[in-house]
Amino acid sequence: MRLRDSTIMRFLKNLQREHHISRVDFAVMLQYCAFHQLATVCDESIVFLTRCRISRVFPAFIDSLTSHIPYQYNDKVRTTTACLKASLLDASIAERRSRRSKCIEGIVKTRAHLQTILPPNIWKALSCQNQRICARIRKQDKDRLRKKFSSLIASKNTSSSFIRPWAVPPSRCTVLGTNMIDDDMKALLNLGPSFAVAEPVTGKTFDAVLCGIHKFAYHLRWRHQIGPTVLDRVCTLVASLPFPRSYIGIPRPVPDLEPKIKALEVDLMRIYRKASRSKFVPNLTSEELNGLRKLKNARRTLRITVGDKDGAFVVMPQELDKALTTMAIADDTTYEPCPISCFRRSCQLLTNVVKSVLRGKFDTCTISRFLTRHPEVPTFYSLVKTHELEPNVDLTHVDISRIKTRPIISSCGGPSDRISWLLVKILSPLLRFVAAHLVNSNEFIDEIQRCQVPDEACYASYDGISLYTNIDSSAAIRTLIDLLNRHWNEVETFGLSSIEIEALLNATLSCNVFRFDSNFFMQKRGLAMGIRIAPLLAIVYLDYIERTSLTAGILFYKRYIDDVFVIGTTPSELATTLANLNCKDVHIKFNIEEPDKEGFLSFLNTRVRICKGKKEIRWYKKEPSKNILLHSRSAHPLHMKVNVVRNLKTTSRRISTESSECDEKIKNILFENGYTTRTTGSWRPYAAPDGIALVLPFLNDSYSKQVNTIVRKSGLPVRVVFRPPPTLKDILTSSRVYEAGCDQKCCRYCRDQKKICHLRGTVYLITCSGCGKRYVGETERPLRKRLDEHRRALSHPQSYPTSSFSRHRTTMHTREPTPELEVRVLHRNLMKPLERKIMEAKEIKRCKPEINSKEELVEALKYIA
């Protein structure tokens, strides 16, 4: 064994010469020093390699070992190589630890031998000299390896970008009651619900580009036709309506703009055609692609949702999901079965009330936008509270009683959705008169910093238990109307009286029928989570309870929905306030959470500690959270990813007074989602002042920059918006998974297991089975409704003289039986009339249908002229 520092050799030879030490004993002395020096070197090497492992950098010797591996451009090879490098690094650390252990064994043996043969003064001199030289070796190696580590980090930051390429997230999905989910499926689910799956350029992409261009041109022409306008309050409200008009007009062409619009269309299509000829690179590994394919094939057996608080996917068999939901609906104090006639009655009641109340305040066209002609029945589904699952339970065989869920009634497209939007618009300004209400954590921090807290103050948080389903809806309406009357002159009601607003509220909440697994139920008590007005009613009703519950010893009381942060002079004041809150309403109950052993209390995304009047606030990520951000491999523009990371850092730094702990958490979260801590700039989509949105499909950052350049040079008032492809949440989840099929046993439109009759917002192609001629149409309603109209016109042409199908029957099939209609959906889920009209015109131009009348063809083609 060689010496790392040979300067001790001269010292040892002097000792041998002066004290006549034998060659055998001299060799033992030499071994002792060599063991010591090697152990010192191993110590520093272990520290260096461990730091490399923590920082995810690899020394040059590991890179050289893997540099000869071929096909590293392949995603599977690249992922495997990264795992191999990590394993090699772990093996290197283990090898040095083993070598260090052997050195220590050698030190112990040689030291015992030398202490027996050498006089104490010689042993002491040898030991001291050896320690001095080992200290010098340690310092030299430490400095050398620190420089090497800094160089590795610097080269990593300069060679790598803000994004870690092909980062693989940790395990962060929850699987309940099944072992069907293999590693490929988990690999995909671990990417998170917001992950957008890259798609190749297809005809669908070109359709989206053309639709975006023609929508932009439509709005630009209307702007030039109408000119600058000054909107009053009613017009401003109408302009902000998110619900489409039932009829849209066609603006006149603008001669000065038409050449620019056409040139923009040609240039953009050239870019997207160029992209279609390039090689498509997916943003999923081969394992993840296999997992996506398997999960799509398992749609009929698996239920995929997003966890209640952790933001990650939850997977379970549909039988388990149905059992959980059935157990929730079985609460007969809250829900009861009902026939579908109850739903129709409540819809008719709401329609009558809305028409009678809004008549005279808005025009007929606007009133119709607050009504849904063919409403969806609200659907019931459950979100699993993954944070309440017991940690040591086998989730593949978990008992159903141990799974807690949050009930949600999805009212999107329901009868009360639109009028609920209007009520929120009118009544939400009342929240500024609710003293305890918090808008966000920023307001909470500002408020608590302004609060003067004495040295002996105590603090806690209250949390409402199942708040929404326990609120008396009638009492909540009365409370809200009372607050409105007290501040009547400070709220814009658009001509509605408080009695009329109360009538709208009652009619809205009376639409309390929902559907689950083809069965209908009614909510008898409480507010449904899922309607727009529910949070507002809950906030105001709790304010009514609080005004008579707070005691004089409460110094600070702020609430976000049902989460309360309270500071009192004594613990008894907090206990008294909690008791007062719990006794005002027999159904409304709060529980209390006190600070932990370190004095910290979590609230929203903060942790607060108050000690002798001084407040310490830290940024906090809730324990149930799986740290899911927009993953770096997601098919989103780079500027969106930069904003996500920047917002995370900004929020944590704004909140936290202790940055070191916060920075380490942020670093781990970013690493799990495929980012580095390096700050970076980004390109931005072009936005002209007062520009009109031009929505285009996102391919990648390179092509998006080219699009940006073309749009900037067009000279048009454009605001570019890049729309990412569908996310995993869009692809894998649905709140209506049990209502997505056809209700009819022998449906004439749904064939080959393709359930199309219930679809809304469609562009469709009909082929006449008798002659093969075609018809292209569009409809916002359920497709079955429109197809039934075509069929009636075909069967009874004399009753529909203006219909294209009655003309087709009389001219082509006068003496023949009524032919069958073969239906194919060309585009679906186009809920905006302009999008449907544009895509209908594109399909008419493409298919050249024979059944459509000339008037229909001319009118439709105006949208893409």
Which domain-ending residue is among 546, 562, 596? 546
pLDDT interval class at 309 (50, 70, 90): confident
Q: What is the pLDDT of residue 837?
A: 95
Q: Which residues sit opposite 515 in a β-bridge?
A: 379, 520
Q: What is the pLDDT of residue 619?
A: 87
Instruction: Establish if 92 belongs to a structural domain.
Output: yes
3-state secondary structure of 488: helix
Tell which phi-psi region holds residue 682, choosing left (phi > 0), alpha (psi between -120 and 50) or beta: beta
Nearest to 495 by CA among 364, 360, 367, 371: 360
Q: Region 773-780: what's the mean pLDDT?
A: 95
Question: What does the alpha-carbon distance between residue 261 and residue 265 come to, in Å, rounded to a whole number?
Answer: 6
pTM: 0.78
pLDDT interval class at 221 (50, 70, 90): very high
127 and 235, same structural domain? no
Residue 259, pLDDT above cutoff 80:
yes
Q: Region 323-339: what's the mean pLDDT?
A: 92
Higher-confidence residue: 18 or 448?
448
Q: Region 752-762: what's the mean pLDDT?
A: 81
21 and 137, same structural domain? yes
Mean per-residue pLDDT of the chain: 89
Instruction: Establish if 596 belongs to a structural domain.
Output: no
84 and 231, same structural domain? no
137 and 88, same structural domain? yes
Weakest mean pLDDT among 73-82, 130-139, 853-862: 73-82
Q: Region 592-618: what's the mean pLDDT?
A: 90
132 and 26, same structural domain? yes
Residue 16, pLDDT above cutoff 80:
yes
pLDDT interval class at 753 (50, 70, 90): low
Q: Region 330-357: what's the mean pLDDT?
A: 94
Question: What does the alpha-carbon distance between residue 329 and residue 316 come to, in Å, rounded to a whole number?
Answer: 19
- Calculate what percentage of the chain has a pLDDT beyond 70: 96
Residue 437, pLDDT above cutoff 50:
yes
Burial of 153 (0-12, 13-18, 19+ CB in 10 A): middle
Q: What is the pLDDT of residue 160?
A: 44
Instruction: Establish if 264 belongs to a structural domain.
Output: yes
Q: Region 119-138: what's the mean pLDDT?
A: 89
pLDDT interval class at 311 (50, 70, 90): confident
Whether residue 527 contacts residue 471, with contact meaning beta carbons closer than 8 Å, is answered with: yes
216 and 154, same structural domain? no
Q: Cα separations (Å) of 111 from 31, 35, 97, 161?
A: 10, 10, 21, 52
Instruction: Establish if 404 belongs to a structural domain.
Output: no
pLDDT interval class at 158 (50, 70, 90): very low
pLDDT interval class at 578 (50, 70, 90): very high
Burial of 146 (0-12, 13-18, 19+ CB in 10 A): middle
pLDDT tens for each residue of 616-667: 888 888 776 788 999 999 999 999 999 999 888 888 888 876 666 677 788 8
Identify the domain containing residue 513 by its residue range.
Answer: 338-376+414-450+461-546
Domain count, the chain: 4
Higher-confidence residue: 814 or 391?
814
pLDDT tens for each residue of 735-750: 888 876 677 777 777 8
pLDDT tens for each residue of 542-577: 999 998 888 778 999 999 999 999 999 999 999 999
Residue 73, pLDDT above cutoff 60:
no
Quick count: other Cβ atoms within 10 Å of Cβ 815?
4
Q: What is the pLDDT of residue 852?
A: 94
Whether residue 265 contacts residue 257, with contact meaning beta carbons closer than 8 Å, is answered with: no
pLDDT tens for each residue of 169-212: 888 899 999 999 999 999 999 999 999 999 999 999 999 999 99
Whether residue 613 contacts residue 455, with contact meaning beta carbons closer than 8 Å, is answered with: yes
Which domain-ending residue is among 546, 575, 590? 546
Instruction: Establish if 294 belongs to a structural domain.
Output: no
Instruction: Establish if 842 belongs to a structural domain.
Output: yes
Q: What is the pLDDT of residue 18?
A: 84
- As a residue count, the chain comes to 865
Helices (H), 68-119: 75-117
pLDDT tens for each residue of 108-122: 999 988 888 888 888
Question: What does the alpha-carbon distance between residue 124 and residue 679 come to, in Å, rounded to a whole number?
Answer: 55
236 and 128, same structural domain? no
Weakest mean pLDDT among 314-328, 383-397, 650-664, 718-732: 650-664
Residue 540 structure tokens: 């105001």
pLDDT tens for each residue of 296-308: 999 989 999 998 8
Cα three-residue angle 795-798-803, rounded to 5 degrees: 75
Instruction: Establish if 538 belongs to a structural domain.
Output: yes
Instruction: Establish if 566 belongs to a structural domain.
Output: no
Q: What is the pLDDT of residue 663?
A: 77
Which domain-ending residue is among 520, 546, 572? 546
pLDDT tens for each residue of 672-707: 898 887 777 778 999 998 899 999 999 998 899 999
155 and 39, same structural domain? yes
Q: Which segments within 548-699 are labelled E, that is strand?
A: 554-560, 563-568, 590-593, 601-603, 606-611, 614-619, 692-697
Q: In CATH, what number is assigned to the domain containing residue 766?
A: 3.40.1440
Q: Which segments within 726-856 are labelled E, that is strand?
A: 762-768, 774-779, 821-827
23 and 155, same structural domain? yes
237 and 134, same structural domain? no
* Backbone phi and psi for residue 240, each to the nearest 5 degrees, phi listed first: -90, 0
CB-based contacts of 135: which residues, under 8 Å, 6+ apart? none
Q: Region 782-789: what's the mean pLDDT?
A: 91
Q: What is the pLDDT of residue 157?
A: 53
Q: How many CA atoms lie within 13 A of 191 on its CB side?
A: 28
Residue 332, pLDDT above cutoff 60:
yes
441 and 347, same structural domain? yes
101 and 20, same structural domain? yes
- Calculate what percentage of the chain has a pLDDT beyond 90: 57
Residue 409, pLDDT above cutoff 70:
yes
Residue 227, pLDDT above cutoff 70:
yes
Q: Region 396-419: what's the mean pLDDT?
A: 90
